[in-house]
Amino acid sequence: MNAIVSIQDLTKIYEGGFQALKGVSLDIEEGEILALLGPNGAGKTTLISTICGMVTPSSGSISVGGFDIARNYREARRLIGLVPQEITLEPFEKVINTVRFSRGLFGKPADPAHIEKILRQLSLWDKKDARIRQLSGGMKRRVLIAKALSHEPRVLFLDEPTAGVDVELRKDMWQVVRALQEDGVTIILTTHYIEEAEAIANRVGVIDGGRILLVKDKQALMQQMGQKELLIELHDPITAIPVGLEDYALRLEDNHLIYTYDTAAERTGITKLLSALAEAGLVLKDVSTQQSSLEDIFVGLVGENG
């Protein structure tokens, strides 16, 4: 895979002395959906804003499609579409005019057919002559996406595309994102909804405190770091973990013994645990397992970092 966006040792110190990025290096592969996951203030928006040209980096370099974003800013920026986090639109302008404006701004000749295609894809065609202030919040977000796609970018940045968006619209948005990926667009989205990353990303990057803590294939990440919990419900209530079971790092909650194990490990220790339970004379009522989600992994990582 080729890196379409390549970031090297990027740092950003704001005027007040706040260091938002502390040496970020990241390669974004062509055609992938990369989710950047991180809590508020992690540096997600600063990172995107720097790639897109709204924030000047303090040091480090970024290239998009092989073009340096500072030296060859025109070539680099032509490849990029940006959907900002906040809904920022000229309220009195018509939908279609603001989309046309974006295309012109990026130096592309007028192409009514392309604009129509985008507006239809985003279910905005009926609203093309509406003034932006008349639209609902969800529609406005679609307009932002339409603007970002107006100049046929190869890389699309979505900064928290589904923040404050209802469930229905979020699902719609994911569909749009997947359709774009099928068209060959590389997509980078930031989110603090783990389910979002889990639902649509190919790779997940975790960012916190201005550092990329990890970037991994989503499946591998969940497999590698995914832990399972074995829940053992006891027939007779106990108040303390019985003697002889200290080695298993068990937790006792609501008459359940909980055993955490690594699914990728060679030996999960389940068999030994179960026979140890029998030896301790415990009678089991029910046994179940649950997979830890990306959220648990995330909380684990951010917690360690903090």
Partner 1 sequence: MNLRAIKAIYIFEMARFFRTLTQSFISPVLSTSLYFVVFGTAIGSRIEQVEGVSYGAFIVPGLIMLSVMTQATSAASFGIYFPKFIGTIYELLSAPVSYLEIVIGYVGAAATKALFIGTIILLTAFLFVDLRIEHPLVMILFLILTCLCFSLLGFIIGIWAGNFEQLQLIPLLVITPLVFLGGSFYAISMLPPVWQAVTMFNPVVYLISGFRWSFFGVSEVPITLSLGAIAIFTVLCLAVIGWIFKTGYKIKN
Determine the Cα–Cα distance for residues 206 and 225; give it in Å rounded to an integer: 13
- Residue 99: closest CA among 86, 85, 81: 81
CB of 56 to partner 1, least distance (A): 6
Asked if residue 177 lies in contact with residue 33, where contact means CB atoms within 8 angstroms, the answer is yes
Amino acid at 282: L
C-beta separation of 187 from 181 below 8 A:
yes
User: Rounded CA gap, 28 and 4, in Å?
Assistant: 6
Binding segment (CB under 8 A) for partner 1, from list 107-115, 117-125, 170-178, 229-237: 107-115
Q: Which amino acid is at 146?
A: A
From the CB of 260, what's the least distance to partner 1, in Å? 43
Other C-beta atoms lying within 10 Å of the C-beta of residue 251: 12
Considering only residues 117-156, where is the footprint of partner 1 by CB under 8 A? 147
Of positions 44, 103, 127, 203, contacts partner 1 by CB under 8 A:
103
Q: Which residues pair with residue 22 across a beta bridge? A: 11
Looking at this protein, which amino acid is placed at residue 74?
R
Among 17, 92, 243, 271, binds partner 1 (CB under 8 A): 92
**Chosen residue from 37, 42, 47, 52 binding partner 1 by CB under 8 A:** 52
Residue closer to partner 1, measured from CB, 103 or 170: 103
Name beta bridge partners: 186.
155
**Residue 101 touches partner 1, criterion: CB under 8 A:** yes
Yes or no: say if 277 and 244 are a contact pair by the CB < 8 Å rule: no
For position 86 contacting partner 1 by CB under 8 A, the verdict is: yes
Q: Which stretch binds partner 1 (CB under 8 A): 94-102, 121-129, 164-172, 285-293?
A: 94-102
Nearer to partner 1, 43 or 226 (CB): 43
Site size toward partner 1, by CB under 8 A:
36
- Residues lying near partner 1 in the complex (CB under 8 A) are found at 14-15, 49, 52-56, 73-78, 80, 82, 84, 86, 88-93, 97, 100-109, 147
